[in-house]
Chain A
Amino acid sequence: MFNFNPIATGIESDFMNEPVIDIEDLSKFYGKARGIDHINLDVHAGEIFGFIGPNGAGKSTTIRILMSLIFPTSGSAKIMGMDVIRQAKEIKRKVGYIPSDANAYQWMGVNEFLDYCLRFHRIQDGRKRVDELAKLFELDLTRKISDLSMGNKKKVSIIQSLLHNPGLLIMDEPTTGLDPLMQSVLFELLRTENRNGLTIFFSSHHLSEVQMLCKRVAIIKEGNIIRVEDIDTLRKKQLKKVFIELDEPVDIETFNISGAENLSLVPGNKISLLFSGNISDLIKALSGKRIKDLTIEEPSLEEIFMHYYKV
């Protein structure tokens, strides 16, 4: 549906061999307070890359450095081979950005704001793209921005980020305010754009969203990246979610074995736990117990995430 020209977006052959985002030893301190601390990250062309962590972990700090809103204390970051400080203007021609707070100019109309965005990119024939995206998101272009709901403001933010056919899209909590239907419209659009060559950097604290869209994910904790994993690998980790129901009272000491975590007793002689050890150790611990029910399943990403946070 949407035409994409890799040459126009800067994903040129020179860049194909190097990461679209290349972060090296990047740190940001606000006085003595830590923002991010020596993080390293590569995002490759054509990826949908997830960036997850709780509030205050350093996600927005990283993104704001990439968008040259704030300056790093040390280290470097490059986008498409260009330095985010020295070549910020050139980078912004090729990058779309959806900020977490969708506050466009309140005194403008939606059309006026989108035309204003197009003018920065000197795009003469952007109306078709505006109309296509507005139709897709069911956005009324004739309304004033101040009259829009939070969800509709977010739609404006999404549309403005894609008007200039960027090669890289950086999104900071892009689904905030969107209803589930519009979230799925957004995800479908992103998949289409990605198939056409758009690289996507997706920051979120909703792991289910990241799971639906991303191929790889970086987990950031207290300013440090603690894991960069393929989503599939992450889900195939040894970590298992175990439910056990016994026909006798549960002795929690039984599960004092290597790899057992998050033990939770449930009324009715039940226990749930996360297990990352050798499964035969667990079976051995249960030998002699009168097992009524035993379920071993894949944990959710949330649980995997929480597991890593305890590392």
Chain B
Amino acid sequence: MEMKRNSLSLFLWTLVITLLISVTMSIYPTFIENQSRIFGMLNLIPKGVLQFKGFSDLNDLLSPMGFYAANNVIYMMVLGSIYAIVLASGILLKEEYNKTAEYLLTRPITRSEIFLTKLAVVAGNVFLLNIITSLAGFIATGLAGNEIIRLRPFLIISIYTFLLNMFFAATGLFISTLIKRSRPVTTFSIGLVLILYFIYTLSKISESVSKLGYLSPFTYVDQKVVSPDYSLAPGNLAYFIGISFLLIAISYRLYLHRDIYV
């Protein structure tokens, strides 16, 4: 039932991200044809703006994979993370602010079962979003580059994207269990993703604040991490899995003992 309830939202987010990726990748052949002129124009744009768009190194843009990876950061990682955090932060709280908690929590079902079901729905939705958009990206990149795209780099990027999205989903659950009274947290959740992305961007632009980047999860999926050998860094995996698991475990404990206000 919960999957059905969130199906429209999943459909719309998937559609928007898929369209953005497809449209962006369709520009790639034109980009290659006019690369010298476009590079000349891009060099006039402040480095910070390019970084915010995901272009850390303009030479990356010359390969279909690099072009995809640069755009993937802003579309799949940022938009996917916003989807994940909004979904997760609302999935428990909306039962409270819609006053349906008085029906759900008075059924013969434990809070543990409710939490784990909701978590499974969040993970399932984020997974579906990632599978569909990654597949769309894979096809769009192959068509744009007119060449066979290697699967492994795609998988690596997709795994990092999924881990990042799940990190924000865990953060969303955690935020929702910290809120004392039932109130929507959507604006705060979206703001948090954008602030962390901004911190990551800032740390790349200015050497003096480069250490700030460690605070942002986007640093650990930076395409420079991804690109060189297209492998999964154990430290980064541990960071995402460890923190996500910790946030989910704390949220679980808090939810079991939470006063439900309606």
Contacts and interface: CB of A to CB of B under 8 A. Distances in A.
A117 B102 contact: no
B30 interface: no
Interface string B91-103: 0000000111111
Interface string A79-116: 00000000011101101010101011111000000001
Contact of B108 (A71, A92, A103): A92
A71 B260 CA distance: 9
Contact of A116 (B1, B99, B102, B110): B1
Name the residue among A64, A69, A120, A160 with the largest chain B CB count within 10 angstroms.
Answer: A69
A104 B103 contact: yes
Given A71-B257, A103-B98, A106-B98, A121 B108 contact: yes
A101 B109 contact: no
B108 A69 contact: no
Interface string B109-131: 11000000000000000000000
B110 A89 contact: yes
B259 interface: yes
B109 A89 contact: yes
Contact of B106 (A90, A97, A116): A97
A70 B98 CA distance: 17
A101 B102 contact: yes
B250 interface: no
A92 B5 contact: no
A11 interface: no
Contacts of B233: none
Contacts of A160: 103
Contacts of B98: 103, 105-106
Name the residue among B106, B110, B259 with the largest chain A CB count within 10 angstroms.
Answer: B106
Interface residues of A, number: 25
B5 A117 contact: no
A20 interface: no
Contacts of B101: 69
Interface residues of B, number: 19
Given A103-B100, A116-B1, A71 B107 contact: no
Nearest to A90: B108
A67 B105 CA distance: 8
Contact of A101 (B108, B257, B262): B262
Contact of A120 (B5, B102, B107): B107
B231 to A, nearest CB: 44
Name the residue among A88, A90, A106 with the largest chain B CB count within 10 angstroms.
Answer: A88
> Chain B contact residues: over half helix, strand or loop, or mixed?
loop
Contacts of B106: 67, 69, 92, 95, 97, 99
B129 to A, nearest CB: 21
Interface in B69-101: 98-101
Nearest to B95: A105
B99 A101 contact: yes
Contacts of A67: 102, 105-106
Nearest to B261: A70
Contacts of A203: none
Contacts of B110: 88-89
Contacts of B100: 103-105
Interface in A100-153: 101, 103-107, 116-117, 120-121
A199 interface: no
B259 A70 contact: yes
A99 B262 contact: yes
A71 B258 CA distance: 8
Contacts of B257: 71
21 contacts: A64-B260, A67-B105, A69-B101, A69-B260, A69-B262, A70-B259, A71-B257, A89-B108, A89-B110, A90-B108, A97-B106, A99-B103, A99-B262, A103-B99, A103-B100, A103-B102, A105-B98, A116-B1, A120-B108, A121-B107, A121-B108
Q: Which 8 A-B pairs have the closest CB atoms?
A: A103-B99, A99-B102, A120-B107, A70-B259, A93-B108, A92-B108, A69-B260, A97-B106
Given A68-B105, A104-B100, A121-B107, 13 more contacts: A64-B260, A67-B102, A67-B105, A69-B106, A69-B262, A70-B260, A70-B261, A71-B257, A89-B109, A97-B102, A101-B102, A103-B99, A103-B100
